[in-house]
């Protein structure tokens, strides 16, 4: 990820409604949520939500797909991963032990992928 892309993504998330919207979409992966439902859950008018969704979309953090008369939005988890890695990639300065607490804090929410566990 380039610095400009990270700045755009962080800028898009640097507003409470957009941050709440993005976090809500992450929680609703992989199905996503329709724009109207997002507006209702966040408690903002639909036109306001539309403006926020446009900013998040331009930053590459979300993607919308039309389903009949509504647009269902999903978080772009690859972009979130890239942004997170960009922020922490050099955090340990050559000493992996310094990043161990960060990895430990992330592990409970995200169990490692194990192909043999798929049925």
Using CA atoms, how far apart are residues 65 and 13, in angstroms rounded to an integer?
A: 21
Q: Name the pTM for this structure.
A: 0.81
pLDDT digits (tens, 9 = 90+) for 60-71: 999 999 988 889
Q: What is the model's pLDDT at position 108?
A: 66
Q: What is the model's pLDDT at position 118?
A: 45
Pick the CATH number of 3-78 from 1.10.10.10, 2.60.40.1180, 3.40.50.300, 3.40.50.2300: 1.10.10.10
Cis amide linkage into residue 30, ω under 30° from 0: yes
pLDDT at 113 over 70: no
Q: Side-chain half-sphere of 38: how many Cα atoms within 13 Å? A: 33
pLDDT digits (tens, 9 = 90+) for 34-92: 999 999 999 999 999 999 999 999 999 999 999 888 899 999 999 999 998 888 877 67
């Amino acid at each position: 990820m380039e610095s400009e892309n990270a700045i755009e993504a962080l800028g898009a998330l640097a507003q409470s409604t957009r941050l709440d919207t993005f976090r809500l979409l992450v929680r609703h992966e992989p199905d996503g949520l329709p724009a109207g439902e997002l507006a209702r859950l966040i408690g903002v008018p639909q036109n306001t939500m539309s403006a926020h969704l446009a900013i998040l979309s331009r930053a590459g953090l979300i993607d919308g797909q039309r389903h009949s008369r509504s647009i269902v939005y999903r978080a772009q988890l690859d972009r979130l991963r890239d942004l997170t890695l960009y922020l922490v990639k050099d955090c340990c300065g050559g000493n992996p032990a310094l990043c161990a607490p960060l990895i430990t804090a992330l592990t409970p929410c995200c169990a490692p992928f194990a192909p043999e566990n798929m049925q």
